[in-house]
Chains A and B, each alone.
Chain A
Amino acid sequence: EPEVTQTPSHQVTQMGQEVILRCVPISNHLYFYWYRQILGQKVEFLVSFYNNEISEKSEIFDDQFSVERPDGSNFTLKIRSTKLEDSAMYFCASSGKGFTEAFFGQGTRLTVV
């Protein structure tokens, strides 16, 4: 069964460092998303991406964040200068044409120290 895969499963980084979280969406999907879940809090929408551009983003997704689909298969989330409060589980998701559901990856746990 097709699935969304995320790497790495756990990333530890120093505050101020850049980090790139990687995702391989399901191959024929058109819409891509990033969500995050800070420990003990709700899963929150960050950004959606379609046709090589951001279609919607939340107030969390500020200038420190960027997304890219560099090669037609990977979908990445970059955080330029990480802060302690960026520590969270980050989920990638994708959906097909005419959205009926979003398929999620297993998540990347980012720890900023």
Chain B
Amino acid sequence: AQSVTQLDSHVSVSEGTPVLLRCNYSSSYSPSLFWYVQHPNKGLQLLLKYTSAATLVKGINGFEAEFKKSETSFHLTKPSAHMSDAAEYFCVVTLTDSWGKLQFGAGTQVVVTP
């Protein structure tokens, strides 16, 4: 079985400062990992994905994440937060033999202050 834990339910950052959203996963097999973002009244948008290629993954809007197998982590970072980054972020895992059955983390609400 696989699962994903987002270590922070809320993160507050100042505009222009770095963002770190933490995610740990557990999986018996080789996982695929994703970060999705949800802005208010919008659908879930894919930020980036890891599917067993490069461990450092770059996504949209300046976000990146690093897959660390030894730490079972897939933390999301951005060097400089923008007001438009205020949203809810979900770390998601799926097994390679169960395509589409995504396991979501509880989400991290990001607040960006001027």
Measured CB to CB, the residues of A under 8 A from B are 3-4, 6, 31, 33, 35, 41-45, 48, 56, 91, 93, 95, 99-107
Contacts and interface: CB of A to CB of B under 8 A. Distances in A.
Given A4-B43, A101-B46, A95 B51 contact: no
A97 to B, nearest CB: 10
B36 A48 contact: no
Given A35-B102, A42-B107, A56-B101, A101 B34 contact: yes
A106 B43 contact: yes
Contact of B98 (A42, A56, A104): A56
A45 B101 contact: yes
Contacts of A35: 102, 104
Nearest to B41: A106
22 contacts: A3-B43, A6-B43, A33-B100, A41-B106, A42-B107, A43-B44, A43-B104, A44-B104, A45-B101, A48-B101, A56-B98, A91-B44, A93-B100, A99-B100, A100-B49, A100-B51, A101-B46, A102-B100, A103-B46, A104-B43, A105-B43, A106-B41
Given A91-B44, A102-B102, 7 more contacts: A31-B99, A41-B106, A43-B107, A44-B104, A56-B101, A99-B99, A101-B49
A105 B106 CA distance: 19
Contact of A42 (B46, B51, B104): B104
B103 interface: yes
A43 B42 CA distance: 15
B42 to A, nearest CB: 6
A43 B94 CA distance: 13
